[in-house]
Amino acid sequence: MGLLLLLTSSLLFSYFYPGIVVDAQRSFTIQNIVLSIEPSTNVTRDTNVTVRCKANVSSGTGVLSREYTIYKDSKKVYTKTSSTSEDLLYPLPGARVSNTGKYKCKINIEGKEKTSEATKLTVTGLSKPVLHINNGVVNEEEEVTARCTAPGETGSIYFYFYEDSKEIRDNLVNSNQLEAKFPLSSIGIHKLSCNYAVLIMPDSFKSEKSNSITVSVKELSITPVLEILPQSKVYEGDQLSILCTIRTFLNSSVSSPADLYLSHGIKLLSSGKTKVNHSMVALAQDPGDFECRLEIGNVAKVTKKMVTVTELFSVPTLTMSPAEVFQKDYMTLTCRSENYASERIPMEELSYTLEPPDSHLTPMKPGVFSGRALQYDFNYTCVAQAKGIMKHSDTLTVYPKVSVSIPKISVVGKAVLGQPFNILCQSDTGSFPINYTLLWDYDKLSTTTVKLPLQEALFTVTISRPEEINKYMCEATNKHREAPLSKRLNAAVIVPLTDTTLTVLPNLTEISEGDDLYLICGTKGSPPVTFKWYRDGDKQPLFTTTTNKNNTHHQVSQLSKEHSGTYYCEAVNQANNVVRSEKVTVEVRMALWKKAVIGGVGLVVVSLLVLACVLYCKSKRVRVVRAAVSVWSERPPEAANDEESSVLSSEPDVEYTEVVHPQPVDTVRVPLRKGTDTVYSELKNLPHGAADHHDYGSVEYAELNGDRPEISHHLPEANNPQDLPVPVD
């Protein structure tokens, strides 16, 4: 009763909770998987080998389906499904070398997989190959059928066949045997053998050689026969009859059809099965032997004969006379065969012709042709003929030479007086070689030969005077009758510069500020001339110019003190000689107007000083005189007469001031202007009662009117008292 209740409860639990039951049964894990090889990983051939795959799987209750897969070198070789936990066994009974490789095992349980590590199995030892031959005796045209077997071996196998230790055939098959057919190389006894190699990538394992079998190859009792008529001495032009046949001996057995081939050198004349005939004219120049060739299967038998053909005449030669010819000059071509068979042909039967027919040469006698050379290159060939035999000479190319044209003479570069320069002599046309000769007034100086188109006839000369250059001429010849002469050399001669001078305007002593300075540079020599002006201390020239004259100038405008310095100039022309002038020192002086201003200022200053002194002295003297008593002003009234009174009354009041310093006086009246009136100053005699002295002095008449300007006059000095005027009464 209790067992029934337990079973019922289990069924009910499974019905109501089916997922819990399934999960408990199918819960598992693959712990590891190991592949091993028994009895060893290195075994010999024919050993029974087992590959064992052991998987450790942990699971709950229930049955798990296991799928095992065995791999060899990554290639699937065995698969098995098991529901037990027993190891998987993969047997290799009687292991072979082809079983060598790396093995792995993989297990798959409901989608879960695990793979073991690889383990290598190495099997050594191959079976000895066995050779079988279909026939031990064969004819030389027959093939041998051989079969090589590798007992018990599997996999990809290379088979090799040998004839007398020489490899003659190899093939790769996926079988342990190979059958092949091949001919043997020659008549006689041959030893055949074979071996094989098992291919396991990337290596191969080769077996020992098989048994050796002897095969006898018999010669065919059949040969080709070659007959040539005539058999005696053959000359060119003779008719040759050639026969190629087969000769068969008794008891000969030929399994393959026969083919005949008749050849002369590399030229096939004819072919057939059992007999070949051919007829031809004998020619001495045809090379090679006659050959009759028999081919039966892979067998070839050959018979050769040489036919010596005697020349009727030798190959002609073509020569030209003269060896060199100019355009339109006469020439002769001679065609001749040096040897001929006089026993067969007379000399008169040997004829000569010239090709091409339009060669423009006329036959003069047998083999001799004459005429004018063409104006261009031409090829000639001579043909000798007798008894139907025709022979051609080598081609002769005639290169008519071109007469040299009148040469041209010129200077290469520039001709500099006193320096070496080159003269070029050149003709526009003319065949090489050309000889050029330099002449000076028809006297030959030197000769040079031009042999190539790019070669030049150059002559180096030196002249001392410009007119000497016109005396040069040149002559050209290339062995023709004429030797044309060039014109006289016409070329400019460059005279080197000399005597360079620097001239300064204006004169060095007259150069002042504000002037324009002209630096004139002149030289002697051939223009154009490049002039450069320099001042000492400057790195660069002041000015540079090129002119077709021998002199030019450089202007410096509005001179100042800064333009003072030392100047010089340089000149250079195509002779490339630089000449320098002497140095000139320029000193820029002060301008005249500045001097005048300074002088004027000085004069004004001096005048002002003098005027100041004069005014000072006058003012002092007037004060002294007024303070003193004048002899004229204190004169008694009685001293004056009527005449004086009348005079004085008619003149303005004048104050006479006596000057202290003595001065000689002139007797001439000195007019003094007073407005428009003239006032005369007189010298008065002293009163008789005065002191007796003649100290005359310069008397200054000063007008006392304040509105009149003061006028002073210095009288010239008197040397003698007699010169003094007589006092006026």
What is the pLDDT, as a whole number, of residue 643?
39
Per mean pLDDT, which range of 7-11, 48-52, 700-704 is the poorest?
A: 700-704
- The answer to whether 83 and 63 are in contact (CB under 8 A) is yes
What is the pLDDT, as a whole number, of residue 626?
52
Q: Which tokens is 419 given?
A: 């320096």
Of 530, 541, 531, 534, the closest CA to residue 574 belongs to: 530
Q: What is the mean pLDDT of the chain?
A: 81
Residue 655 has pLDDT above 50, yes or no: no
The residue range of the domain holding 337 is: 317-398
- Number of domains into which the chain is organized: 7
What is the pLDDT, as a whole number, of residue 253?
56
Q: Is 592 helix (H, G, I), strand (E, B) or coil?
A: helix
- The answer to whether 200 and 121 are in contact (CB under 8 A) is no
Residues 6+ apart with CB under 8 A from 145: 133, 134, 135, 179, 180, 181
Task: Report strand pairing: 578-580 vs 378-386.
Answer: unpaired
> Are residue 456 and residue 521 in the same domain, yes or no?
no
What is the pLDDT, as a whole number, of residue 537?
86
154 exposure class (CB count in 10 Å sphere: 0-12, 13-18, 19+): middle
Residue 27 has pLDDT above 90, yes or no: no
Please give the share of the chain, as a percent, with pLDDT higher than 70: 80
What is the pLDDT, as a whole number, of residue 480?
73
Average pLDDT rounded to a whole number, residues 274-289: 86
Query: Does residue 467 lie in a domain region?
Result: yes
Task: Indicate the helix (H) or strand (E) that contains 519.
Answer: strand 517-524
> Are residue 522 and residue 581 in the same domain, yes or no?
yes
Average pLDDT rounded to a whole number, residues 89-108: 94
Query: Quick one: how far is CA 250 from the chain centroid?
Result: 83
Q: What is the pLDDT of residues 336-385, one digit of tens each?
A: 999 989 888 888 889 999 998 888 899 999 999 999 999 899 999 999 99
What sign does the dihedral 439-440-444-445 (CA atoms) show?
negative
Q: Is 147 helix (H, G, I), strand (E, B) or coil?
A: strand
> Are residue 114 and residue 134 in the same domain, yes or no?
no
Q: Answer with the residue of higher pLDDT: 603 or 673.
A: 603
Give residue 203's pLDDT band: very low, low, confident or very high (50, 70, 90).
confident
Q: Is 18 helix (H, G, I), strand (E, B) or coil?
A: helix
d(Cα 98, Cα 569) in Å, to the nearest integer? Answer: 108
Query: Does residue 96 lie in a domain region?
Result: yes
Task: Indicate the helix (H) or strand (E) that contains 10.
Answer: helix 2-16
Per mean pLDDT, which range of 476-485, 504-513, 519-528, 720-729 is the poorest?
A: 720-729
Residue indicated by tokens 């002139």: 666
d(Cα 315, Cα 283) in Å, to the nearest integer? Answer: 12
Residue 535 has pLDDT above 80, yes or no: yes
- The answer to whether 291 and 303 are in contact (CB under 8 A) is yes
Identify the bridge partners of residue 505 per DSSP, sorted by sequence position.
518
Q: Answer with the residue of higher pLDDT: 673 or 278.
A: 278
What is the pLDDT, as a whole number, of residue 623?
60
- The answer to whether 364 and 370 are in contact (CB under 8 A) is yes
> Are residue 161 and residue 238 in the same domain, yes or no?
no
Residue 671 has pLDDT above 80, yes or no: no
Query: Does residue 597 lie in a domain region?
Result: no
> Are residue 154 and residue 192 in the same domain, yes or no?
yes
Average pLDDT rounded to a whole number, residues 249-254: 52
Residue 687 has pLDDT above 90, yes or no: no
Query: Taking the chain, what is the end-to-end CA distance rounded to the nearest angstrom?
Result: 217
Residue 90 has φ and ψ, to the nearest 5°, of: -115, 105
> Are residue 387 and residue 421 in the same domain, yes or no?
no
What is the pLDDT, as a whole number, of residue 421?
95
d(Cα 543, Cα 569) in Å, to the nearest integer? Answer: 10
What is the pLDDT, as a whole number, of residue 59?
83
Per mean pLDDT, which range of 258-262, 496-500, 666-670 is the poorest?
A: 666-670
> Are residue 365 and residue 440 in the same domain, yes or no?
no
Neighbours of 242 (CB within 10 A): 21
Task: Report strand pairing: 49-59 vs 88-92.
Answer: antiparallel
> Are residue 439 and residue 473 in the same domain, yes or no?
yes
Please give the share of the chain, as a percent, with pLDDT higher than 90: 54
218 exposure class (CB count in 10 Å sphere: 0-12, 13-18, 19+): middle
- The answer to whether 151 and 161 are in contact (CB under 8 A) is no
Average pLDDT rounded to a whole number, residues 478-487: 85
What distances in angstroms separate CA 464 from CA 248, 383, 410, 495, one per listed residue? 106, 66, 18, 10
Per mean pLDDT, which range of 20-29, 428-437, 452-461 is the poorest?
A: 20-29
> Are residue 238 and residue 199 in the same domain, yes or no?
no
Residue 145 has pLDDT above 50, yes or no: yes
Average pLDDT rounded to a whole number, residues 470-495: 91
d(Cα 440, Cα 443) in Å, to the nearest integer? Answer: 5
CATH code, domain with 52: 2.60.40.10
Per mean pLDDT, which range of 3-12, 32-41, 207-216 is the poorest?
A: 3-12
Query: Does residue 180 lie in a domain region?
Result: yes
Identify the bridge partners of residue 392 per DSSP, sorted by sequence position.
383
DSSP designation for 121: E
Q: What is the pLDDT of residues 227-240, one digit of tens each?
A: 999 888 889 888 99
Residues 6+ apart with CB under 8 A from 200: 97, 98, 100, 101, 155
- The answer to whether 326 and 403 are in contact (CB under 8 A) is yes
Of 342, 503, 489, 474, the closest CA to residue 405 belongs to: 474
Query: Does residue 6 lie in a domain region?
Result: no
Query: Does residue 633 lie in a domain region?
Result: no
Q: What is the pLDDT of residues 590-644, one digit of tens each?
A: 877 777 777 778 888 888 888 888 888 888 775 654 544 443 344 444 433 443 3
Of the three residues 494, 520, 540, the one that is the final residue of a domain is 494
Supply angle C-alpha 381, 385, 391, rounded to 5: 50
Per mean pLDDT, which range of 81-85, 174-178, 191-195 is the poorest?
A: 81-85
Give residue 556's pLDDT band: very low, low, confident or very high (50, 70, 90).
very high
Q: What is the pLDDT of residues 290-319, one digit of tens each?
A: 999 999 877 888 999 998 888 899 999 999
What distances in angstroms separate CA 171 from CA 161, 195, 314, 539, one per listed residue? 9, 11, 60, 96
Of the three residues 190, 218, 246, the one that is the final residue of a domain is 218
For residues 56, 60, 61, 65, the Cα torsion angle rounded to the nearest 10 degrees is -50
What distances in angstroms separate CA 485 from CA 327, 407, 436, 473, 560, one per listed residue? 20, 7, 10, 7, 66
Residues 6+ apart with CB under 8 A from 675: 708
Helices (H), 580-709: 592-627, 642-650
What is the pLDDT, as a whole number, of residue 172?
93
Supply angle C-alpha 277, 280, 283, rounded to 5: 140
> Are residue 538 and residue 582 in the same domain, yes or no?
yes
- The answer to whether 211 and 130 are in contact (CB under 8 A) is yes
Query: Does residue 97 lie in a domain region?
Result: yes
DSSP designation for 11: H
What distances in angstroms separate CA 239 from CA 228, 233, 281, 314, one per listed residue? 10, 12, 5, 19
Of the three residues 310, 337, 366, the one that is the final residue of a domain is 310
Per mean pLDDT, which range of 149-163, 544-558, 678-692 is the poorest?
A: 678-692
Query: Does residue 67 lie in a domain region?
Result: yes
Query: Quick one: how far is CA 306 from the chain centroid?
Result: 62
> Are residue 431 and residue 345 in the same domain, yes or no?
no
Residues 6+ apart with CB under 8 A from 431: 326, 399, 401, 402, 404, 478
> Are residue 34 and residue 99 in the same domain, yes or no?
yes
Residue 105 Ramachandran class (φ > 0 left, ψ -120 to 50 alpha, else beta): beta
d(Cα 250, Cα 256) in Å, to the nearest integer? Answer: 17
